Structure 1
Amino acid sequence: MRPAETPLPPSLAPSPAQTPPVHAVLDAKFLPPAGQSIQVLRQALCEAVRRASGQLVLVSAPAGFGKSTAMAQARERLEADGVPTVWLTLDRADNDVSRFLSGLSEAVNRLGLDSGSGDAVQTLTHAQAPYALFLDEFEAVHEPAVLGLVREVAEHLPRSAHLVIGSRQLPQIGLSRLRVRGQLVEIDADRLRFTASDVMDFFRQRAPAQVLDAEQLRRLHQKTEGWIAALWLAAMALERSDNPAEFVDRFSGSNRAVADYLAEDVLARQPEAIRRFLLRTSLLRQLDASVCAALNPRTDCAAMLERLDAEHLFLTPVAGAQRTWRYHSLFADYLRTQLEREHPGEVARLHLAASGWYESQGRPVPAIDHAIEGGDYPHAMDLLDEHAEAFLEQGRMRLLTRWFSSLPAAQLQQRPRLQMVAVWATGFTRGPWEAMDLLDHSGAEQSPDPYLRAHANGLRPMLLAMQDRAEEGLRLGRLALARLPTGQRFADTALLNAMAHITTISGDAREAQQLLDAARHEHGGGSTFNRMYTESLEGQLDLLQGRLRHATARFRLAVDATHAVNLHHTHGNAWAGVFYTSVVYEANQLDQAEHLLNVYLPLARDVGLPDHMIVTHAMRSRIAFLNGDVDAAAMALTELEYLGNQRKLPRVVASAKLERARLLQAQGNAAAAHDELVRADDPTLWAREQQQRLVVHDVQYMALARLRWAVAFGDAGASIEPLRAQLQAATAQGRRRRALVLQLLLGLALQRTGDSAAAMQETGSALQFACQEGFMRLILDEGPAVGALVQRYQALHDSGQVRDPILGEYLQRLLAAFGPLPTEPEVGAELAHGVLEPLTRKEIRVLQLLVEGYSNSAMAEKLFVSDSTVRTHLRNINTKLGAHSRTQAVAIARKLGLLG
């Protein structure tokens, strides 16, 4: 509630104006600028958008160049062609992934697309029907996860679809890659400027009775350089000028100073009532009579807005059933500056009036925003006192962090309870190190306030575990558990969850389970955030024990806990979302896993949790390699290593090197893979890891990586006993997932030493368990050699030696996912003496890239040639080598020593 000690003056108190319905507030984001009576048709720009199906159209220019108007005209043209369109205006709140995806989902509904998948991005990238999506004011978006989603849509836009983005800045969505692929149409400031004929058309519409000769119009066009905002303001000034020719003569320049001069000239000529209304309402993002009345209680705001609209003064109408407007951003900036200059004492009171109005409508988010923007931090903190814990329970950490980062630290220190909420939010957005620093300086643990002590009690063990300091977290956490209950349900539940995580790492699954049960009982379903935390931790327990199906269900529940459910589960918290992505990847749903990574990898990177960073970057690398983008695969691991070094996390650095060794091994580069393993070998680090149970290292740790390399390139026979020992230990510990991988490698080692019967026994045992739980990528990622084992085992199954129809169907799916497996090439007489015709240097290079795993399109980009040229080279290589497939060509080339 508004504090009693700061009442609003009567002139600023909210009036009992009609309140807009909730749906009207939501609909406002989908309303394009309404068509105006005075408007120059941009025929060429509309046609450029119309022709650009399957390409991103980027309309990028500073304020005042008519981006939104040109986009709105293009939208009308597409609708006239029968193309369904939707307009979405973005704002800074769309940096929240959940908020953005909700808007995108509503856009899909309005387009009438088949959204059976429940995922907006998937629907947009797989749509068969034509559509046009317009995203305006894109400069408001800077969150990497949101940018990644838009990049995904742009890169996979269907041929019949249009994506049009309006922005003041060049968005970070991979424009250079789109440009190289011919998937980008750019409409910049130069293309948006009015031509001389556009200027004549504009002034003919604006002031038909006013005589400006052709030479004056030419000079005005030359001086403004076609800048639409300056021309519009000049037209308004000319309508009130006694000597148009003199005005044109003294007009000069086309910069911001000119815009300010013209705006001031136009504003100064308005009646005082209109001028006062314009200034007072300039701080509102959306204008309708109800909210304007809160800032102008003695004014007929509905009539005022209609008058301003009729006179084309500053307002841009927004299409929709309810009469709504907004100020053009260029003029809004000017009006706000003028308000602060003329009435500095009014700004805070006006923001407070807006804040109070939104508060009265039950809309705390804009209420808090206006309080902060108006510099009324005490009122903002009063509102936060009332609502912050509810947002905390809901897991809206990024929203809370945005607010707290805007509040003066000195004033926030006077609200120690809000400080505790800020520590929670910071830990899950900016990382545990910054949160720990805030906690250390808060003095909460020594406070006489039991609320503060309770939250500090829950925070410190959790933050230690997030910093990869589980041993310290375990020691302090046990002391913290002894203090429960504290009466603070959120903090107590978070502590129980944190200790479940820590005891899982320490290897005590039973105690971890008991703590999770206690956490469920404590929060009782009241905290969606803690429900997410609990379910994701139990999913990790399931995963460590090989219960993939249970883990998948748990992670799905966890992701959906904090937001409305959608079928592809992209709205969740990164803590749960990363592990849900990992099980989607494990099920070999690579497109969906890549889509989820676009959401969760940037969030994981921002928070900086070691396991989350390792999991997401390793998946990104593997998927890129499978898609033939070897450079992107390597880049993901380079970024992971950099992050580990930057944040002083040696386990992250070593994991990046292990994964790089695996990538090099997949490329057949034995020496480089071995060198990377040597670089990753930190005996102290890996000895510590062997005493812990971390999901990320269950199937990717130093000893296993060395055995994998030895089986592939070294002495397979010498690897058998170490593999058996590792397998026995994993089985004894109940680590069925780890045991599965070890059995596969053991089967491969036995096969390479000639013991086929034992190899099939180990392989069969592993595959039968994998079939029960639905494991796919654990097997597929071990590469074609394991694929050959699966193929041999399928032959046994099909011969009737193994009778299990469910297993048979699983083996078929597995082999289909492996794709063509390499066979030993038959070297005929013509090859015994070498290649029939020598390969050219370019063909040798293509062959090398083929061996490294590059796709046709990736090779084309790397060699600066077209896809068709790459296909020609591949056909020539097959002809010269007598090969019938890519895999056979590689095998023959290796046998002939053509690859060095």
Structure 2
Amino acid sequence: MRPAGTVRIPSVKITVPPAPPGAVDRAALAERLTRGATADLSLVCAPAGYGKTSLLAGWAAADDSTDTAWVSIDRDDNTPSRLWTSVVAAVIRCPSVPAGSRLRAPWEWRSGALPELVAEFAGALAALPGPLRLVLDDVDELVDPDAVHGLRILTRIKPASVHLVLASRFDPPLSLPRMRLGGRLQELRAAELAFTPAEAAALLERSGLRLTPAQVDTLHTRTGGWAAGLRLAAFGLEAAADRTAFLERFSGDDRSVADYLVGEILSGLPADRREFLRVISISNPVPTGLAVELSGLDEAGGLLDQLERRTSLLTSIGTEPGTYRVQELLHTHLRADLERQGGRRVADLHAVAARWWADRGRPVPALEHAARAGDDALLTGMLHRLAVPLLLAGEHRAVRDALARLGPDTVADDHRLGLISALGHLEAGEADAARDDLDTARRRPPGHGDPADLAALRTVAELFAGRPGPSGTGAPLPTEPGAAALARLGRGRALLGRDRDRARAEFDVALSLSRRHGFEYLQAVSLSLLGVVAIETGDLRTTRSLCGSALALADDHGWDGTPLTATARAMLAYTELARCACAEAQRIAAAGIAAGPAAASPQVWYVLRAVHGSALFDLGDRARGLAELQRARTEFGDRAIGAEPAAALAMLECRQALLLGHASAAQSALAWSAERTGECGELLTMRAWAESAGQHRDRARALVRPVLDGTVDTVLPVTAVDAWLLETSLAVRADERFAARHALQTALTLAEPLDTVRPFAVAEPGVHELLVHQDGGFGPADEMARRALRAGLGRTRQASMLSNREITVLELLPSLLSLDDIAVDLAVSVNTVKSHVRSIYAKLGVRSRRLAVAAAHERGLIGSRPR
């Protein structure tokens, strides 16, 4: 035997590397490594730059309960004597190796005796007094058969006390499948090693960069959590004048990233593998079948699997078996490299991908690839074939993008494309553009295609645009289920405001067809339009249920920011406002407003803003709330609006203006409504409100009388509630207690099925006073009365906050003390006490000491309510 010092091993090779500057603690992964001590082998496998060495070094340094022997392998270790001399040298550096251990004796590593020597080495490890970690970093450097054979022997016969950890860019040539099946292999691959957004932010902060959450998300998406990509981006960000612009253009074609990818990752692959990756990069993700078509290789599936298992450059998508995703920066680098080879080749590959996706019923990627192929004939054919199914599925953006790629002249020259463009504009709420498309299509001959099919498509587009042909809503319906459902929706929309029952029937059929055939976008639209019908009948509970279901479908499919969601949110917010759920109404309306006016029709946009303003008013920001409502009406201008929304929004604005004492503003809203509804119960009620506010009680009662006795029609069911509440207030002021109680009882009875309590919250103080006084005496309407009382209390909470001194006076009002006695008790004048009492009455909306005490108990301002 030769002395162990014959092969000199540098200390740095067998020392745990220090953590790199700005290293991020990865405690969860370290814990997984620790738990892997029971496995035969822990494998950390990922391409260059994923932080394998940093992770293992940090893990070893953080946990000193077990000795770690570390070997950084390089190409010279393909000589077995050097490899095994390094391994032994690393082990004997561990403090737990006894002085008399066989490991400290000289070793002579002869290639012919390698199995026996590795077995002897394993036996020496087994004799150690405690556990040991043996980390071999960069195992992918080992290619010599003898070196690999020795490592394979060690994995089979190592003692259980030794935790063997291998780090490699590729799968080492070991029996990994057998160990995997036996549960004896722990694996950490690129997916696990990728940084989370939080870890990416921490890494950037340690590099001196503080980015916004949006910028971190952008960078994390670009890099896929690849540590090297994050560090390369950090270098560029340090010098970037515009960080957002840098992040938007940061890709695999960036010079520093490209150099790293080529030098550290791609150069290690055979030329045919690099070409395969380049070709399949036309699609990301790429299914196995598409990879076969793009590459022309029947064995493409096997190559994809090999590249995933052996290199981690690809990741299989669990939700789509046989589909793989390329790491994002590598993907953009490969795409750029492919495009440098010539645009014709790229276009041809896109055409192959477009046809492959279309044949498999995946219209969105089919259209995207067809658009990138630069072949107008291919893209036109794809639109003819796929556009209507895409519209049914709610994929309007894909259709619009494809039409934009063809350009307006091509669309105008093609009868079918013009009709498709019209439907796309209609679903985006762009009625004028849709009508232009229809006018152009009328002037063009139908051209090629099935005349009956084109006629059906035209029927659908005309109905949706509100311009039915000579046969009106009785035009023949298409036989194809999707087009038939669209046509039913169009018919229903044409009937809205004219024949509510027939409109509901059409929407019901459209909903049934959509559910039966899986047209989820049309299902959501049908639910939303049925909500419109329900709200017109005052059925707010049904409206809330239908619109909530429509929004749930929209959220599931990413259809936010569309006319569908704007309409559903407008109606849902209105129902919440009617229930006095002011904060919820404000939140829902704000979400609709955030999508912008382009995502809603002008009428829906007006409703969203008006409800938002009304909710602000009810939440206490009265001046701003009324101003927003007035501004929304002014900006809406002279556009057409249905009688129901016109009446509802005018009454909101009129009531709020009167509550703030703005009589002229109330008259403006009233006049605007009159032009759109004609003479109706709403106009009479608003005029009666104005007269009541001006203390003209007799005029007010005369105006509201036809609404109460039903001799004048109302546009909205809730108007009768408002009218009876006004009668309640007027009767209270006239000291007609029986008439007041009857009017209030009637209002409660009418309001309960409508699920509306807001009229009670904004009613005059006499209504609130009577609700307090008669609590528990409304019979079947008791629960509605309590809801009405709570709604009023909730709405006026901000306005009715009492000062500390007023609270003190209020706490003495339940006693038998006179106001003089209270003044003596508080050491103030009786006039001061009287001033406080008047203020308390005003803030609580009452006019007597007894009712003030009852209202204070209701609001929890003083002790529990007396029985």
Give the CA deviation at 1:648.
9.5
Whether 1:619 aligns to 2:607 is no
Change (3 A) 1:447 1:716: farther
**Alignment partner, residue 369 of structure 1:** 368
Query: Which has the higher Rg, Structure 1 or Structure 2?
Result: 2
Distance 1:381 1:787, change over 3 A: farther
Tell me how many residue pairs correspond in the alignment.
618
Q: How many Å separate the matches in 2 of 1:661 and 1:381?
A: 53
Instruction: Spell out the pairing of 1:194-213 with structure 2 (5 A cutoff).
Output: none
Question: In structure 2, what is the Cα distance between the partners aligned to 1:766 and 1:884?
Answer: 24
Counterpart of 2:5 in structure 1 is none
- Per-residue deviation, residues 513-570 of structure 1 (Å, max 9, x unmatched): 676688789999666666666665555444434444555566567667889899x9x9
Distance 1:225 1:604 in 2: 32
TM-superposed deviation, 1:483: 4.2
Matched, 1:608 2:600: yes
SS for the counterpart of 1:366 is: helix
Task: Give the residue type in structure 2 aligned to 1:768.
Answer: T
CA contact (8 A) 1:584 1:593 kept: yes
Which of the residues 724, 737, 745 maps onto 2:705?
724
Instruction: Write out per-residue CA displacement over residues 260-306 of structure 1, whole angstroms, 9 at most, x where no aligned residue.
Output: 67667779967543442343233333357554444223386567667
Aligned partner letter, 1:816: R
Q: How far apart in 2 are the matches of 1:627 and 1:165?
A: 41
Sort the Cα spacing of 1:749 and 1:400 in 2 relative to 1 into closer, same or farther, 3 A: farther
- Structure 2 residue 677 is matched with structure 1 residue 686: no
After TM superposition, give the deviation of residue 758 of structure 1 in Å. Answer: 2.2
Whether the aligned pair in 2 keeps the contact of 1:489 and 1:522 (CA below 8 Å) is yes
Q: Write out per-residue CA displacement over residues 111-161 of structure 1, whole angstroms, 9 at most, x where no aligned residue.
A: xxxxxxxxxxxxxxxxxxxxxxx9xx9xxxxxxxxxxxxxxxxxxxxxxxx
Give the equivalent residue in structure 1 for 2:342: 343
Cα deviation for residue 345 of structure 1 reads 0.8
**1:40–1:382 Cα change, 3 Å:** farther
Partner SS, residue 736 of structure 1: coil
1:143-192 alpha-carbon deviations (Å, 9 max, x no partner)? xxxxxxxxxxxxxxxxxxx996989xxxxxxxxxxx9xxxx985968999
Whether the aligned pair in 1 keeps the contact of 2:473 and 2:494 (CA below 8 Å) is no
Opposite residue 423 of structure 1, the aligned amino acid is A
Q: 1:435 — aligned with what?
A: 434
Residues 364 and 395, structure 2, Cα contact 8 Å, conserved in 1: no
Q: Secondary structure at the match of 1:613?
A: helix
Is 1:544 paired with 2:544? no
CA 1:462–1:325 in 2, change beyond 3 Å: closer, same or farther?
closer
Deviations 1:654-687 (A, max 9, x none): 998875665555xx531xx33433554655x632
Partner of 1:738: 719
Q: Which amino acid aligns with 1:348?
A: A
What letter matches 2:434 in structure 1?
A
Counterpart residue identity of residue 660, structure 2: N
Q: Distance in 2 between matches of 1:715 and 1:596?
A: 39
Match of 2:497 in 1: 505
Letter in 2 for 1:687: E
In structure 2, the partner of 1:145 is none
Q: Per chain length, whose mean CA-contact separation is higher, i.e. which structure has more relative contact order (CA < 8 Å, sep 6+)?
A: 1
List runs of 5+ in structure 1 lacking aligned partners: 1-36, 48-65, 81-133, 138-161, 168-178, 194-200, 207-216, 229-253, 465-472, 693-697, 839-846, 852-882, 890-900
1:261 & 1:638 partners in 2: Cα distance?
60
* Aligned residue number for residue 378 of structure 1: 377
Change (3 A) 1:631 1:323: farther
Q: 1:655 to 1:776 in 2, by over 3 A?
A: closer
Q: Once superposed, what is the RMSD of the aligned Cα atoms?
A: 6.2
User: AA paired with 1:620?
Assistant: H
Cα–Cα, structure 1 residues 262 and 505, in superposed 2: closer, same or farther, change >3 Å? same
Q: What is the TM-score of this pair, normalised by structure 1?
A: 0.54
Alignment partner of 1:459 out of 458, 461, 469: 461
Preserved CA contact (<8 Å) 2:429 2:563: no
Q: In the alignment, is the contact (CA less than 8 A) between 1:423 and 1:435 conserved in 2?
A: yes
1:236 aligns to what?
none
Identity of aligned residues (%): 18
- 1: distance between equivalents of 2:605 and 2:20? 51
Q: Compute the displacement of 1:792 (Å).
A: 3.7
In the alignment, the residues of structure 1 paired with residue 587 and residue 274 of structure 2 have an alpha-carbon distance, to the nearest angstrom, of 50
After TM superposition, give the deviation of residue 589 of structure 1 in Å: 5.4
On the 8 A contact 1:428/1:607 being kept in 2, the answer is no
Q: In structure 1, how many angstroms separate the alpha carbons of the residues matched to 2:253 and 2:292?
A: 34
Which secondary structure does the structure 1 equivalent of 2:718 belong to? helix
Contact 2:308 2:314 (C-alpha < 8 Å) held by counterparts: yes
Distance 1:380 1:837 in 2: 80
Please give the secondary structure, in 1, of the residue aligned with 2:296.
coil
Q: Distance in 2 between matches of 1:389 and 1:372?
A: 17
**Alignment match, 1:669:** 660
Normalization by structure 2: what TM-score?
0.55
Residues 448-478 of structure 1: CA deviation (Å, up to 9, x unaligned): 84544444444345434xxxxxxxx6xx677
| 3-state DSSP of counterpart to 2:775 | helix
* 1:815 maps onto 2:789 in alignment: yes
**Cα separation, partners in 2 of 1:496 and 1:631, compared to 1, 3 Å:** same
Q: Which position in structure 2 is the counterpart of 1:7?
A: none
Question: Is the contact between residue 519 and residue 534 of structure 1 (CA under 8 Å) also seen in structure 2?
Answer: yes
1:442/1:546 Cα in 2 relative to 1: closer, same or farther (>3 Å)? Answer: same
Q: 1:594 to 1:390 in 2, by over 3 A?
A: farther
- C-alpha distance in 1, partners of 2:347/2:557? 39
Distance in 2 (alpha carbons) for counterparts of 1:321 and 1:513? 40
Amino acid at match of 2:461: L
State which drifts further: 312-321 or 730-739. Answer: 312-321
Offset of residue 432 of structure 1: 1.4
Q: Which residue of 2 aligns with 1:775?
A: 756
Q: What amino acid maps onto 1:724 in structure 2?
A: R
* 1:331-730 correspondence to structure 2 within 5 Å: 331-413=330-412, 415-443=414-442, 447=446, 449-460=451-462, 462-464=464-466, 479-481=471-473, 483-484=475-476, 497-498=489-490, 500-506=492-498, 508-509=499-500, 536-537=528-529, 539-549=531-541, 551=543, 574-576=566-568, 578-588=570-580, 596-597=588-589, 600-601=592-593, 605-627=597-619, 633=625, 637=629, 640=632, 644=636, 662-663=655-656, 669-670=660-661, 673-680=662-669, 682=671, 686-690=674-678, 704-705=685-686, 707-712=688-693, 715-728=696-709
1:803 partnered with 2:779: yes
Cα 1:296–1:420 change in 2 (3 A) is same
On the 8 A contact 1:536/1:554 being kept in 2, the answer is yes
SS of 2:297's equivalent in the other structure is coil
1:560-584 deviation line (CA, Å, top 9, x unaligned): 7889899x9x997554554355435
C-alpha distance in structure 2 between counterparts of 1:607 and 1:186, whole Å = 26
Deviation of 1:765 (Å): 0.4
Q: Are the aligned partners of 2:718 and 2:754 in contact in 1 as well (CA < 8 Å)? A: no
